[in-house]
Chains A and B, each alone.
Chain A
Amino acid sequence: MSKIKKNKKNVFYDPSLKRRHFKSKLFKYFTLSSLIVSLAFLAIFFIDMVVKGSSAVQQTYVQVEVSYNEQSAENYRDAVDKKYLELLSRAVLREIPMQIKKNPSLLGTTKVAWMLADDQVDMYMKEYYYKISNKDLATLTELIENGRVEKKFNTIFFTHGDSKTPEYSGILSAMIGTILTLAVAMFVAFPIGVATAVYLEEFSEQNAWSEFLEVNINNLAAIPSILFGLLGLAIFINLFGFPRSSALVGGLTLALMTLPIIVVSSRAALRSVPATIRQAGYGLGLTKVQVVKDHVLPLAFPGIMTGSIIGLAHAMGETAPLIIVGMIAFIPDSPTSVMEAATVMPAQIFTWAGMPERAYIERTAAGILVLLTVLISLNAMAVYLRKKFEVKW
C-alpha cells in the first residue's frame, strides 16, 4: 500500500506554478474584458441613439378650427382661436396667409383640421422636459381630454428641410445636399482614383517617381480631414472663386479625401488579377492599353466598386472639412444645383446638436439613425459585392 502511494507521488507537482497560472488567467480576463468593453461601448451607443431618436418617429398634432377670412389673410394669428395660438406650430400657422393668397376660394370658409403642434406641446406629449404656461397647459389638458391631441407619424422629418422651429424641421434638404455633394465627389474621385491605380499597377516602373507617388498617397490618407477643409477654403473658394457652402466645393474637397481610399483599394483589386490573364492578352497581340481596358479592368471591377463604396461611405460621414467650406448654412429648401448653398446630413446633425431647444435632441438622434442606416447599408453592400465576386485564382 505504502509502496503504491510512493509510486503515485506526483513528481510534476510544482507549487510555484499556481501563481503563474493565476496571473495567466488574470491576463486572459483582462483581454476579454477589454473586448467586452469595446463591444459594450458599441451597444450602449446604438441603444442610446435609438432611445433618443425613436420619439422623433411621431409628432404631435392638435385638432382646431381654422378660419380663412380677411383678417387671417393678413395675420395668421387670427386664423385660430387665440387660446390655441401658443399650442400650434408657428411655422405652419405662418403659411395660412400664403395659402389664401394662392387659393382665394378658401376665403370665408372654415375647416376643422389637424394642425402641427408647437414643439413644447410635443415635448409634453412625449413626457420630456417642457416649458408651457399654466394657462396654455390648462387649454392643452382640455384638448387632450376631448381627444383633440394626437401623435401621428412624422412625415415632416422626411419631407422638409431645416427650420428655425424644431417641430417643422426635417432632414430632406440635407439628404439632397449629401447626394449632390457625394455625386460631385465621386464624379471626380472615381475616375482619377482608378486611373492613378491603373497607372501605378500596370504602367509605371518601380522607380523613385512611383515610390514618391506611393508615399504621397499613403500620407494623403493620414492627413487630418480638417486640413482638407483648409485646402478647400484656400483653393476652391478663395483662389478659384467657387461659391462658398456649395455642393461643388464640398464635393471637390471630399473627392480629394476619398482619392487615397479608392486608389489603394483599386490597386489591390488590380493586383489580384492574375498575371496569366495579361499574358494571354499579350499572346493575342493586344497592346497594353487593350489588355488593361478589356481584360484586366473588367475582372478588377467588383473590387474597385467595393473600395469606392467604402470610400463613399467614408465621405458621407465627414463633417469637419465641410464646416470649414461653409456647408453648415441654414438651408430650409433643398438645393437644386451644385452651385447653390447646401448642407449635408452630418452637418445638419451638427447644427441641430448645437440648438438649445430640447426638441432638437430627438431630431439629431433621428438624423443620426438615418445617417447610420445609410452607412451600414452601404458597407453591407460593399461586403456583399466583395463576397459575391470573390474569386479564388
Chain B
Amino acid sequence: MAKDKAKIVVKDLNLWYGDKHALHNLNIEIQKNKITALIGPSGCGKSTFLRCLNRMNDLISSVRVEGEVVIDGKNIYDKDVDEVSVRKRIGMVFQQPNPFPKSIYENVAYAPLKHGSVKKGSDCDDLVEQSLKSAGIWNEVKDILKEPGTGLSGGQQQRLCIARTIAVKPDVILMDEPTSALDPISTEKIEALMLELKKDYTIVIVTHNMQQAARIADMTAFFHLGDLIEYDETEKIFINPTHKKTEDYITGRFG
C-alpha cells in the first residue's frame, strides 16, 4: 500500500465506554478515493470505530479515547483541533435516514449557509442542485424543493441525507449501515451512487451485508470483539482470508 494515498491513519486507537474497553489498539490506514467496508458481528465496535473518525463519540459523556486518528497529517484528537471543523470535513450518513423537518432545499442548503461557504441566492441554488444531482436524486425532487424532506420515501430520504452531507464538501464520508433500513431497489441506487462518489470522496462504510461489501468496497476490515482482525483488499478478504475467524464470519459459520 502506497503511503501517500493514505487519507486516514489510525494509530494505537483505544476506546472505553466507562470501564468497558470497546476498541483495542487499532491500527489501520484508510486510503484516499477508495471505499473501505467495515464488517464484523454485531457489537464488535464497527459503529464505535466509525464515530471515532469524526469525533461523534465526543457526544457520549462516558467515552474515553486514546491513540491517534491522523487525517491529512493532523491528529484530530489533538488539543488544538476543533471537533466541529472535523465534522465539517468528515461527513456522516446514518442508518436511519434523518432528514430535518424542513424543506428539501433547506435540508441541503442549511449547513453550507451556516458555514458561510455559500451566500443565499443563485450560488446556493446551484450548490443545492449540484449536491442533489451528485446524490442522484435531483430528477425526483427538482419540482418539489419546497416540500418537506420528511415526506420522501425512505430511499429518497437517505439520498437526501447524502446530498446534505456532500453539500458541505467534505473529504471523507462515513456511512453507518446506510442501506439496512431500505428496500433492495433503493439499496441498489445508493450503492451505484457510492461507486460514483468515490471519485471525489473517501468513503468508509459499515455494513452487515457481505454481498454489499463484496460489491462495492475496495478495502475491507474485519472487526471482532473490539479487535481489528484483518484488513486487506476486499477480494483477498473474501476469497483468501488469512485468519480463521474472518473466514468463519464471511462464510456464515459464525454465531
Interface residues, chain A, with chain B CB atoms under 8 Å away: 7-14, 16-17, 20-21
Contacts and interface: CB of A to CB of B under 8 A. Distances in A.
Contacts of A12: 71, 74, 76, 81-82, 85-86, 89
B115 interface: yes
B64 interface: no
Interface residues of B, number: 17
A78 B82 CA distance: 89
Contacts, number: 36
Nearest to B90: A12
11 contacts: A8-B73, A9-B73, A10-B81, A11-B73, A12-B81, A12-B85, A13-B85, A14-B84, A17-B84, A21-B82, A21-B84
Contact of A16 (B81, B89, B116): B116
B86 to A, nearest CB: 6
Q: Which of A13, A14, A21 has the most CB of B within 10 A?
A: A14
Contacts of A9: 73-74
Nearest to B73: A7
Given A17-B82, A17-B85, A20-B84, A10 B74 contact: yes
Contacts of A16: 115-116
B164 to A, nearest CB: 19
A17 B85 CA distance: 8
A13 B80 CA distance: 8
A167 B72 CA distance: 83
Interface of B: 71-74, 76, 78, 80-82, 84-86, 88-89, 114-116
A104 to B, nearest CB: 82
Contacts of B89: 12
A12 B74 CA distance: 8
A14 B89 CA distance: 11
A20 B115 CA distance: 9
A8 B74 contact: yes
A361 B114 CA distance: 56
A18 to B, nearest CB: 9
A7 B3 CA distance: 14
A9 B70 CA distance: 12
Contacts of B81: 10, 12
A20 B82 CA distance: 12
B81 to A, nearest CB: 5
A8 B74 CA distance: 6
Contacts of A10: 74, 78, 80-81
A6 to B, nearest CB: 8
Contacts of B72: 11
A163 B156 CA distance: 77
Given A8-B73, A9-B73, A14 B88 contact: yes
A22 to B, nearest CB: 12
A21 B74 CA distance: 21
Given A8-B74, A11-B71, 9 more contacts: A8-B73, A11-B74, A12-B74, A12-B86, A13-B80, A13-B85, A14-B82, A14-B84, A16-B116
B197 to A, nearest CB: 21
Nearest to A16: B116
Contacts of A13: 80, 85
A8 B79 CA distance: 13
A24 to B, nearest CB: 9
A20 B116 CA distance: 11
A12 B85 CA distance: 6
Contacts of B76: 12
Nearest to B82: A17
Contacts of B73: 7-9, 11
A16 B115 CA distance: 8
